[in-house]
Structure 1
């Protein structure tokens, strides 16, 4: 889960890219980087930390040029603690290429061996993004063979990338002296869109909110499998480069990851969350009679639209019962789960008057580990709630995610191998209501406006963390085990606090 942006303009782009990364901060808080291009020379600054901390005035002044790209990173593979794995990544041949990537390659280890033994390329980090960059560079070199670079050469190279690379990837690459190349994987798992602004500016970004927030007009989503080349004059060249593209966006983008004011692949994230609240209301009625509920309270922040819609349909009061401290950052050294609970209380506080003597229905967007949910339920009881019901706008998370979301291993997932009743007992609530998988897909699909999606309307969703169906069709249990071994967060006594309450939320980023 990362956020990427690329810009070609007739004016300097450093400030524009910085502003765009601030709008993408909810997609990654571990590291940030910007590279600009001027007179075939790249200028780069990247480091661990939030955008506002990584880039100071002196850094911005050292980023000249009218073409550039940037990334905010939340690592899902490789070494989360390494400065070297902050993006963008750079190779000097052919031409000089800098790349940013959102997603996760499922065959990165095999590609790394292939790059060394066959392509004679060296990979210096554990990042799959560096692997992807070298595959792209090798294929561009094969297509050009010393000749001047043309858009058709780039599109041929992307076709070869699609054949070699497995997994999810939304990519933007800057090619020295030529412009920006962007493409999505053939399933469109990770989002990418394109828009235009003043000064002949063309912008590509992970979410539409970036275009709107920087006063650009969104033109469309980049289609799954499509490649887009923007030359340094702002002329846009496009071509479909996948043999059998399908539009199967990650459903967790709509459940939690994306900002509510974004539209991804024709689906309004906010409307999707309203719809989830509507279908969840029907599930609540079948479990807890509305007369037994005094108030509906969201767990900040992404669950608010679902909670509001649910409360309205059930005719129940909606109240803000928790206040999130937006100024508490991540806790970097956590001595075990006991301190994890303490960190939740540092980041969330209950308003006692909204709980005392009441039967409360808490609404969350999803439940992953369950440790945060358990602590929040106890907070509600400590604040005086008579009964605490918990409803999740998403189904049980039972399977690992392999496409770029920092999802725990299956043994860490509270719903894996447990019934709903067993999860309820572990969390400690009086009733636990989950969304069902088909209801979630229908609710989010109903928020789609398919006009403008061309020949590839929504064909389905990647909902693998809920239903165990991996849309790329190449994932085995051995693959999941291998990917789990590469997860950046080790579950030991030095574990970072990766609960969602530890991160700036989409609505407050």
Structure 2
């Protein structure tokens, strides 16, 4: 809908040591993780080795109701997924969990992230006879695991072997007939946590999913770690651990929910700290500080506290406009921001305003938001951005556009300020963005700002042949 960064995906899994409604647990957890993906969602339930799944395009409450959850039945395990497509088309076939039935038993897989060698692996597997039914790289991961499973002694050993070939970002939750497995790439690009509830083990993308169930946070899955939950409890495989970590810093800036804790650091406090650094780097004389809902609000609070300028609520957000809202005409597209946001004149009229947002991508939405403030009577608008300028694409799961569409690649900071209609513009520096997650037990990836990635990336991310034909309107 808007010229903004799109979310990630969210994964969830629960292993019960007693009879419980695992489908309902997955449903509530996916509701908590809905911010990570609004294109499609799905749940798979394991009842004594029989895996039943339901998935479709749409939000969690649209795809699941009491009747659908009842059909999933009771079970001992469940996995769930909410998706935003960074690779693969937005279709029901690409929705997850991905359920694979093979000679060693059924497996359900949920994946958050993006592989940099997915196309290379896909072509290798196709030459060996593999037939793909989706256009996402999650199916590539599933094929590698099932292929390794033919020779490996256990499903976790198959995952361990498959990780030797995977390059890029992946946080996985995998359900076999008897085990629930979590795995995270050696750099730890995407979050994955472990929880516990009355003897049940839970894996989830964020701690907010644990909170929704009343579960206790145990720890994060380590970068490169494989964690297995089964009838004997939890155990860990760390053969891929020990590499330099590179958590996506944008998890703290925008993607994660503010009430989540990632790698030991509060997302809410990290965003407030980003705002405080912004105030130190880019001070200005103003009357009120406001944030763009929702991820700009915490940073605006931090800016206000550090600068001493009063914090105000500058926008009212229409909570009933979904992120999948469609505008079929140009006129409706131009009204999109007005439908979603309205400036609060009582807060900004006659005032010099500091406007805080998490990012500027193409600049078109920023211009419309600034126009709303001007029309509401703001005399000055000074924009502050709680991340550095986007100058490079992301290869690890965040939908950062190509360089030719990024405004910071086409214009200087002064030109951007004129383009979006602000009196001044200031971005958070790369040095300070790596400091916002105080206490985090990881290093960070800032490749989209610097062009320096923690692992080798391709010159461009190729589409698979099937996806390329679909995007060109041809028959695959």
Q: TM-score, normalised by structure 2?
A: 0.92
| Distance apart, 1:243 and its partner CA | 6.0
- Structure 1 distance, partners of 2:24, 2:77, is 12
The match for 1:71 is 81
Moved more, 239-248 or 212-221: 239-248
Q: How does 1:193-204 map to 2 (within 5 A)?
A: 193-198=193-198, 200-204=199-203
Q: How does 1:47-126 map to 2 (within 5 A)?
A: 47-63=56-72, 64-80=74-90, 82-93=91-102, 94-118=104-128, 120-126=129-135
- Structure 2 distance, partners of 1:66, 1:133, is 22
C-alpha distance after superposition, 1:291-337 (max 9, x if no partner): xx111111111111211121122111111010010111245544577
| Distance apart, 1:245 and its partner CA | 2.6
Secondary structure of the residue that 2:321 maps to in structure 1? coil
| Distance apart, 1:486 and its partner CA | 6.6
The match for 1:471 is 454
The match for 1:258 is 256
C-alpha distance after superposition, 1:178-231 (max 9, x if no partner): 111110000000110101111x21000000111122111111000011001111
The match for 1:175 is 176
| Distance apart, 1:481 and its partner CA | 6.2
Residue 368 (structure 1) aligned with residue 377 (structure 2)? no
| Distance apart, 1:164 and its partner CA | 0.7
- Where structure 2 has 5 or more consecutive residues not aligned to the other structure, the ranges are 1-7
- Structure 1 distance, partners of 2:200, 2:448, is 38
Residue 29 (structure 1) aligned with residue 11 (structure 2)? no
The match for 2:3 is none
Moved more, 332-341 or 131-140: 332-341
* Contact persistence 2:98–2:110 (CA under 8 A): yes
The match for 1:131 is 140
- Structure 1 distance, partners of 2:222, 2:331, is 45
The match for 2:426 is 433
Q: How does 1:307-318 map to 2 (within 5 A)?
A: 307-318=300-311
- Where structure 1 has 5 or more consecutive residues not aligned to the other structure, the ranges are 145-152, 450-456, 493-509
C-alpha distance after superposition, 1:143-162 (max 9, x if no partner): 13xxxxxxxx3443233222
* Contact persistence 1:33–1:71 (CA under 8 A): yes
The match for 1:495 is none
Residue 7 (structure 1) aligned with residue 6 (structure 2)? no
Q: TM-score, normalised by structure 1?
A: 0.87
C-alpha distance after superposition, 1:224-248 (max 9, x if no partner): 11001111x2611211031643321
Match of 1:19 among 25, 28, 31: 28
Secondary structure of the residue that 2:159 maps to in structure 1? helix
* Contact persistence 1:27–1:72 (CA under 8 A): yes
Match of 1:45 among 45, 54, 68: 54
Residue 359 (structure 1) aligned with residue 337 (structure 2)? no
| Distance apart, 1:407 and its partner CA | 1.8
* Contact persistence 2:38–2:324 (CA under 8 A): no
- Structure 2 distance, partners of 1:439, 1:342, is 35
Q: How does 1:233-382 map to 2 (within 5 A)?
A: 233=231, 235-242=233-240, 244-285=242-283, 288=284, 290=285, 293-330=286-323, 333-334=326-327, 339-382=332-375
Match of 1:410 among 403, 417, 420: 403
